[in-house]
Amino acid sequence: MEAVFRYDAFISYSHAADDLLAPAIHRALHQIARPRYRIRALRVYRDKTTLEITASLWPTIERALADSRYLILLASPDAAASPWVTKEVQWWLDHRSIDTLLIAVTDGQFAWDAAGGDFDWDATTALPTILAGRFPHEPLCADFRFARTTDQLSQRHGHFRTEAVRLASAVHGRPMDDLESEDIRLDRARRRRRRVVRFILAMLTVTVTVLGGVAWVQRDSARRNANLAYDRLASLLASQSTTSTASLRDPQRALLLALTAADMRATEATRTALYEALQAQPYLDRILTGHSADKFFSSSPSASSGISDLEYDKETGDLFSAGDDGKIIRWKPATGRRQVLGTPHYLNRGGIQDLALSRDGARLASTGVGNSAVWDLATGMPSLGPGGRLDGQLVAFDASGRLGLLTCPTSCVSGGVEFTVWDPATWRRVWSLRYPRYVMATTMSGTVLAGSGCLQDGAIGNDTCAQGFIQLWDTSTGKAIGGPLVAGGKEIMAVDFSADGSRILAGTRGGQIQLWDVANRRLSASWQGHRGMVRAVRFSPDGAHVATAGQDGRATVWNASDLRARPRTFSAYDSPVTALAFSPDGQQLATGNQLNVITLWSLGIDTHTGSSFHVADSEPRSVAVSPDGKNIVLGGGDGIVTVVDRQTRQTTKRFAVAPVCPHSLEQFKGPYHPCYLNVLKFSPDGRVLLAASSSGNIARWDTSTWTALGDPLDAAVPCRSLICDGRTLTAKGLAFSPDLGTVAVGANGQIWVWDLNARKLRHTLPAHDDVTTLAVSSDGQLLAAGGKDKTILLWDLRDGHRVGDPMRHEGEITALAFQPKHHRLASNGTDNTVRLWNTDAQRQVAALRNDSANYEPGLAFSPDGTYLATTTTNYRLALWDAATLAAFPRFTEPASIMAITFDPVRPELISVAKGSGSHAPTSVTTRGYDLAEWQHRACHIVPRNLDYHLIETYTLGKTQVCPDVAVDGSVVRHWLDVAQSRLNTKDASGTSSAYREATRLARLDDNDDPELANLVCLHGAVSRYPREVLPACDHAVALSPDSGPIRNSRAIARSLAGDRTGAVADLEFFLDWANNSGLFNPTTIRFSVGTLDDQAVPKRQAWIAELRRDANPFTATELAAAWMEYLQDQGGNTYQTCPVEVGGRVEWVQRPTGC
C-alpha cells in the first residue's frame, strides 16, 4: 500500500544564511497551481513556522522528516557547515531515495565533474560533503543565488518564479510547462473572482463609510486619549519612583515603580527613573524579605527589634537570618530563595536573639525569648537540651564543636551572667562559670571566648558608661585569660574575632570602633565610626576588611590595614542596621535592619549600570576597543599608547609611539601638542591598530606582537606627513574609512584624501576656510566636512565630486559621525543641538537638544547604528535611541571627558575622563545602556512584585512587572477576600474561580513563601473548597516539609476532598513532629501566649481514629476551631472573620473577639 505523508516537502536550511529566502520559497510552493478550494497547493514543513515547542528538538524534526515525501535542501556554505542541516540530510540519505532530495542553491559554488561522476568538491562550497558519491548523475538544481532584495523574493520577479516553479514541478510530479500553464489558468480565474468581489465590496464600502465615519473618528479619539492616559500614568509612576529614590527610604518601592513606568512607556522620564533608582543604590545586589515584627509582643512593626543576627554557611554559601518573629530562614543569596527552618517560632515567641553555626555547618544554635535550641540542618529538627529545656541569651561554637551559652541566672543587669559549655551531641555539661558583670556580646575563636560590656556599676544599658571592657576565657578549661581589656569609651555592644584569632573588633554604644591586638593585649586602633550605638561588627574572612553596623542606619566597610582610607558606606530604608555578615568569599555583605529587611551588597567595583577603573600614568586623548572586546586602548597626549585588558583591568602593554611623535613636550608650546594621539582605530579584524597624532602623522601596529608595521608617514621627513605646511591638527581634522585604507585630513581651506595602502594622494578637495571636523561613511564612499562657517559639505570619495547642497547649523560644526548601515549623518554644533541628516537628500531629519556650546564634543554611533552618543558640558554624556530619538538619562563623570567610544561586542558606552593636574587619575568607565538589562538587574534586586494597593492604583491589574519574581502576598490575600465575598453571595462558580486564582498565584515557581501557600490551603479547606486549594497545600509542604502545622492544613483539605489515607499520613506526621520537637511539653515553653494548646495531640489522634473508620471528623465546629487555632498561631485574629455554617453552607462573618 502506498505510504501516506503529512507533508509534501521538508525544507532544510541555515537560519543564518536563508532566514528571508526560505519563507519566500515556502510561500511560493503553497501558492503555485493552488486550486481555489484548497488552502495551499503543497503542504511544506519549515521549522520556523511549523516546529512545536518540545522537550527534545531532534525527535520532532525526525518525525517531520519521516512524514515528508521530498527533502528540499537550500544549499549554501552556511548550510554545509550547519550540524542541523547535516543531520537532516544524513537522515534522508539513510531512509529515503536520493531521487527525492531536491537542491536549491542560495549561495556559494557548486560544480559537477562529469568525468568523475560526482561534484567537484574542490570547487563546491554550497553542499555538505556527506553528499559525495550519492548522485548517480548530475542533479537538476534550482538556482536562487540572485535573490537578495525584497523585490527579488516575490513571484512577481520572473527569475524567482521560474526557479520556484522548477522546485514545485518536481514535488507535484508534473512537467514545468504543464504546471506553469495550470498556474496561469488558475491565476486568471482568481483575478476574475477578485474583480467581482471588489465591485461588491466597493458598493458596501460606500454605505459603511458613511455610517462608520463617525464611529471611526470616535475610536481614533479614544485611542489617542488612551495613549495619552498611559503616557501620563507612566510619567506619574516615574515621578513617584524618583521621589522614593531621592528619599532613599524604600529602594524596593522606587525600583518597582520605575519598572512599572518603563514597562508602560520607554520614555526619557521612565528610563531616567529606572536609571536613578539603580544608581541610588549602585551596589545593592538583592533585597530579602521574610521576617516580620513579633506578632505576640510588638504592638507595631516600628516597635520591632528587627533582624537579630545573620550567619553565612562557609561551605554552601547559604545565609541564615533570625528575627524577633521567632523564625530562622535559610536563604540562597544567588537566587533569593528561602526556606523556613523547622518551627523555631513556636519556641521563641518573643524573638530570636543570637545565632551560631558550627564549624562543620551541620548544626545551627539559636537563643531567644523562650528556648534555646540546636538545629540539625539535615533534618530541620531541634534539640532542646537536657530535659527539653535550654535557656540562653548569647550562643557560640568553639573549634571542637562545643556549644557555649550565656544565661542570666537572676537579673541580667544586677546579678551577672553564667557561661556554660555543652557537648551538643550528648548534652553533657563541660564546664560552667559565673561572671559578676553583665555581658552584652560574645564571640569565640578556637578555644578563646570573648565577652564585652561595661565595667561601671549602674551604667549598664545607658549612655553613662565611660569604661567598656572585653574579657577573655579559655573554653577548654573555663578559666579567665588575664584581666579585662579596658579602654576609655562607652559600653561595648558588639565584638568579633578575626579568623586567625589575633585581633578583636569592638563597637561601643557611643559609635566608637576599637581594634585590639589579642597577643599583646593592647588597643591598636580606635576611631569614631557611627553616630550613635554600634549594633554589630564583623571581620571579613581574610581579615583585610572590617564591617560595622550602626543605629544611624549605615553599614560601613573599612580597610583594616589602612583605616585612614575612605570607607565604603551602605545605607537603605533609613532604619538602624542591626546585624551584618560577610559572605565566605568576602565579595558580599549582608545587612539586616530594624524593619526586618535584609539587604545584600556587592563589595566589587561594578555597579548596576556600569563600572569604572583607574589607569595609571595616562594622559588620554583617544580611546578604542578591539573588535573582540577584550582590550581597551588609550592614546595619550604624551604620545604613549596604553593597552588595558578588559577583564582584569590591568595594563598589559605601554609604549611610546616615537615615529609618530618626533617632538618632546618641552619643545612645543600651545594648545595642541603634535604628539597628541588624537585618533586610534582598529582594523575590522582587530589585527592592526592605527594611531594618528595631531600633526597628521600616522603609524600602524601588529596587535599580536605590538610591533610597528612598515614606515610611518612621518613629519620628520619633508612631505611624508599627511600635510606639508606644518599645520597643527586636532582629532576632528582626521577621518578614516572603516577598513583603514583611506584617510582624509583637513586644514587651511583644503582636504587631502590619502590612500594609506599605496601611500598616494587620491584627492585634494576645496573646503571650508577652517575645517573643524571630518567623517567617512561606513561604506567608505562619502566624506563629510564641517566648518566654522556653520555648514556641512559632502563629497563622493570614488570620484572626489561634491554631493548636493551644504547643510546648515546655526553655530560652528564641532563633530560629525555617520550612522552605520544607514544614509544618515549626525552633527554637533555650538548652537546647542545635535542634528540628524538624510545624506541622500541633504535634508534635516531631527534636531536634538544638547548643551555643547563652545565645546569640542565626542560624537559616536554604536556599531549597529542603533544608538547615538555625545559628550556635553559639565562632565556629562548624552545618549539617544537613533530610531525613536528617545533620550536616555544623562550620564555624569567625575572629571573632564576626553574621549568616548562604543564597545563592539557589548551594549556599553565607554568614556575616558581625566581630572585637572598632572597627577590626577585617569578613569575608564563602561556604562550599559540596554533598557532590558536595567530591568533585569532591577528585577534581580526586588524580592516581590508590586503590592495589591499599587497594582490597583497604577497598573490596571498587572500583577507581575518582573516575570521571574513572586507576586506580592497582598495580591494572593486579595483573591481570598474575593472568594469570601463571592461565597457570602452564594456565587459558587465565582468562589471556585477565586480560590483557583489564589492557588495559582501562591504556587508559582518563584513563590517561596510556605506560610502564604498554607493560608490559601486552610482558607479554602474551611470554606469547603478543598479541591481548588489542594495544589497550594502541596506547594506549602514542598517548601516547608518539616512543618507539622502545614501538614495539618493539608490533612484537613485532603480529608474534605475525599483522600482519607493522605489525611491520616499528614496527621501522623504532625504527631511525630509534635512529639519529637517537645513543643507540647508545658515545661518547654517559657511564654504561653500563642502556643499550641495541650489538647492539640489528643485532638489529632481522635481525627485519625475517625478517618480510619471512614468518617469525616471535620464538622463545622472543628473547622472553625482549626481556623481559630491558625489565627492564634499567627498572633491574633488576622482576618477578623470566621467561617460559620449557615443553612448547610459556609459564610465568613465578622467575629473580632474570636471564632
Buried b or exposed e, range 1120-1154, using 16+ CB within 10 angstroms: bebbbbbbbebbebebebbbeeeeeebbbeebeee
**Does residue 748 sit within a domain?**
yes
Three-state SS for 198?
helix
How many Å from the N-terminal Cα to the C-terminal Cα in the chain? 75
How confident is the model over 381-422, as pLDDT tens digits?
A: 778 777 667 777 888 888 888 888 888 766 665 667 888 888
Cell (9 digits) for 589: 555583605
How confident is the model over 109-145, as pLDDT tens digits?
A: 888 988 888 999 988 999 999 999 999 888 889 999 8
Q: Return the pLDDT at 669.
A: 40
Tell whether the model's pLDDT for residue 1130 goes beyond 60: yes
**Does residue 802 sit within a domain?**
yes
Mean pLDDT of all residues in 61-86: 90
What are φ and ψ of residue 1046, in 5° steps? -70, -40
Q: Report which listed range, 443-447, 671-675, 994-998, 1133-1137, is most confident.
A: 994-998
Q: How confident is the model at residue 671 (pLDDT cuts 50, 70, 90)?
A: very low
Contact between 104 and 25 under an 8 Å Cβ cutoff? The reply is yes
Considering the domain architecture, whether residues 849 and 996 belong to the same structural domain is answered as: no
Tell whether the model's pLDDT for residue 237 goes beyond 70: no
Considering the domain architecture, whether residues 289 and 409 belong to the same structural domain is answered as: yes
Tell whether the model's pLDDT for residue 1091 goes beyond 60: no
Considering the domain architecture, whether residues 163 and 292 belong to the same structural domain is answered as: no
Say which amino acid occupies 264.
Answer: M
Among 602, 619, 637, the domain boundary falls at 602
Among 174, 201, 219, the domain boundary falls at 174
Write down how long the chain is.
Answer: 1155
CA distance 985 to 83: 62
Q: Which residues contact 1028 (CB under 8 A, 6 or more apart)?
A: 992, 995, 996, 999, 1020
**Does residue 482 sit within a domain?**
yes
Mean residue pLDDT of the chain comes to 82
Torsion of CA 410, 411, 414, 415, to 10 degrees: 20
Q: How confident is the model at residue 806 (pLDDT cuts 50, 70, 90)?
A: very high
CA distance 880 to 858: 14
**Does residue 1089 sit within a domain?**
yes
How confident is the model over 1093-1105, as pLDDT tens digits?
A: 667 888 999 999 9
Query: Which residues does residue 872 pair with via DSSP β-bridges, in sequence order?
Result: none
Cell (9 digits) for 91: 537522515
Considering the domain architecture, whether residues 450 and 592 belong to the same structural domain is answered as: yes
Considering the domain architecture, whether residues 1131 and 1048 belong to the same structural domain is answered as: yes
CATH of the domain at 848: 2.130.10.10
CATH of the domain at 142: 3.40.50.10140
Q: Return the pLDDT at 221.
A: 52
Considering the domain architecture, whether residues 308 and 455 belong to the same structural domain is answered as: yes
CA distance 451 to 493: 10
**Does residue 408 sit within a domain?**
yes
Tell whether the model's pLDDT for residue 639 goes beyond 90: no
Mean pLDDT of all residues in 881-906: 88
How confident is the model over 44-58, as pLDDT tens digits?
A: 988 754 444 344 578
How confident is the model over 307-335, as pLDDT tens digits?
A: 999 999 999 999 999 988 888 999 999 99
Say which amino acid occupies 294.
Answer: D
Q: Which residues contact 971 (CB under 8 A, 6 or more apart)?
A: 945, 947, 948, 951, 959, 1001
Q: How confident is the model at residue 1088 (pLDDT cuts 50, 70, 90)?
A: very low
Considering the domain architecture, whether residues 372 and 515 belong to the same structural domain is answered as: yes
Mean pLDDT of all residues in 791-814: 92
What are φ and ψ of residue 1066, in 5° steps? -65, -40
Cell (9 digits) for 957: 491589574
How confident is the model over 488-497, as pLDDT tens digits?
A: 778 899 999 9
Structural domain tally of the chain?
Answer: 4
**Does residue 817 sit within a domain?**
yes
How far are the Cα atoms of 340, 671, 745, 850, 898 from residue 829, in angstroms, in the given order?
A: 61, 21, 20, 9, 18
Q: Return the pLDDT at 854.
A: 47
**Element containing residue 474 per DSSP (H, E):** strand 467-474
Considering the domain architecture, whether residues 1025 and 886 belong to the same structural domain is answered as: no
How far are the Cα atoms of 42, 596, 637, 870 from residue 178, in angstroms, in the given order?
A: 16, 80, 75, 63
Considering the domain architecture, whether residues 982 and 1079 belong to the same structural domain is answered as: yes
Mean pLDDT of all residues in 445-473: 80
- The phi-psi region of residue 506 (left if phi > 0; otherwise alpha if psi is between -120 and 50; otherwise beta) is beta
Among 892, 908, 940, the domain boundary falls at 892
Q: Return the pLDDT at 202.
A: 56
Q: Return the pLDDT at 755.
A: 86
Considering the domain architecture, whether residues 1010 and 1141 belong to the same structural domain is answered as: yes
**Does residue 401 sit within a domain?**
yes
Considering the domain architecture, whether residues 878 and 992 belong to the same structural domain is answered as: no
How confident is the model over 283-309, as pLDDT tens digits?
A: 999 999 988 876 554 444 445 688 999
Q: Report which listed range, 65-79, 176-190, 473-487, is most confident.
A: 65-79
- The phi-psi region of residue 35 (left if phi > 0; otherwise alpha if psi is between -120 and 50; otherwise beta) is beta
Tell whether the model's pLDDT for residue 152 goes beyond 80: no
Q: How confident is the model at residue 727 (pLDDT cuts 50, 70, 90)?
A: very low
What are φ and ψ of residue 362, in 5° steps? -90, -25
Tell whether the model's pLDDT for residue 1090 goes beyond 50: no
CATH of the domain at 1117: 1.25.40.10
Give the range of the structural domain holding residue 807, as residue numbers without chain letter.
730-892
**Does residue 340 sit within a domain?**
yes
Considering the domain architecture, whether residues 993 and 882 belong to the same structural domain is answered as: no
